Structure 1
Amino acid sequence: MQQQLRNIMTSNVFTVNESQSIQEAAAVMSENNIGALPVVNNNGQMTGIITDRDITLRSTAQGEAAQTPISQVMTAQQVVQGTPDMDVHQAAQLMGQQQIRRLPVVENGQIVGMVALGDLAVDHQYGNEAGQALSSISTPSAPQK
């Protein structure tokens, strides 16, 4: 039986604007116990995503100030996205291939939900897909020189 992402996604998604600071993004993450935020422009269109890892590696480790705009450290190019109608199995496979733990769900350029690897894991029906995705995501990469 095919199930769509709309049935398992979190639809109450916190977002940040690309002009906000990384400190503001980190505060939203901390207050809501989340590790990724879709980044939107003034029209509500998704322009990227920022993760706790982005903040750590692209700002803190580089000596950037807390007031650095999100747009300077977010992932903006080729952000992997799903759609509400996407099959859950396809989404799990995509997450594994792209080595991502969170998949923004977008419809008409607007963020409508978020699916985390944990969403797949808690639904016993998708435990195998979650395990396969995690295995792919957890494959160690070579250190940068």
Structure 2
Amino acid sequence: MTTAADIMHPGAQWIPRWETLDRAAQVMRDLDVGALPISDENERLCGILTDRDIVVGCVAMGHDPASVTAGDMAKGTPRWINADADVSEVLHEMEEHRIRRLPVIDNKRLVGMISEADLARHLTDEEVAEFAQRIYAAS
């Protein structure tokens, strides 16, 4: 059985909810990633911040990324998957919620992220095509 831990990109990092968006953008640049999980005071997942969130939800709205926090951008219920979950569960979670990045949690701690690129490296071409159809097709 292939698990989430088998296909994830290990070493994902949190951004604390009180951190500003300009700092989050710097972390994304340094890590060469497009999304960061947001943690609360107890290092629990409380959201995910994407580079698009920063641009569209902050900069394009005329807000200052040096004064808006990651927590200000956290909306909805964050989705995640256990490290020992089967890859079919990973696909189901991402497809059902139409998300492109999924934090991987083990013992209530962040251990990695699964992105579309990770799926492309570990799934067959047919599985990737089916995933893309479900994520990008109009609902």
- SS where residue 37 of structure 2 aligns? strand
Gaps of 5+ in 2: none
| Aligned 1:75-90 pairs, distance under 5 A | 75=75, 77-90=76-89
Give deviations 1:80-132, integer Å, cap 9, x for gaps.
11111111122113212211111111234321211111111112x44333222
Match of 1:7 in 2: 6
- Bigger mean CA offset, 16-25 vs 126-135: 126-135
Aligned equivalent of 2:135, options 113, 137, 144 = 137
Residue of structure 1 equivalent to 2:69: 69
- Give the deviation of 1:140 after TM superposition: 4.4
Question: RMSD of the TM alignment (CA)?
Answer: 1.7
Q: How does 1:1-145 map to 2 (within 5 A)?
A: 2-67=1-66, 68-75=68-75, 77-123=76-122, 125-140=123-138
TM-score by length of 1: 0.85
> Hey, which bits of structure 1, 4+ residues long, moved more than 4 A?
none
Structure 1: runs of 5 or more not aligned: none
Distance 1:90 1:111 in 2: 18
| Count of residue correspondences | 138
Provide the rounded CA distance (Å) in 2 between the counterparts of 1:127 and 1:115.
17
2:36 counterpart SS class: strand
Is the 8 Å Cα contact of residues 15 and 37 (structure 1) preserved in structure 2? yes
What letter corresponds to residue 100 of structure 1 in structure 2?
I
**TM-score, normalization by structure 2:** 0.88
* Larger RCO of the pair (alpha carbons < 8 Å, separation 6+): 2
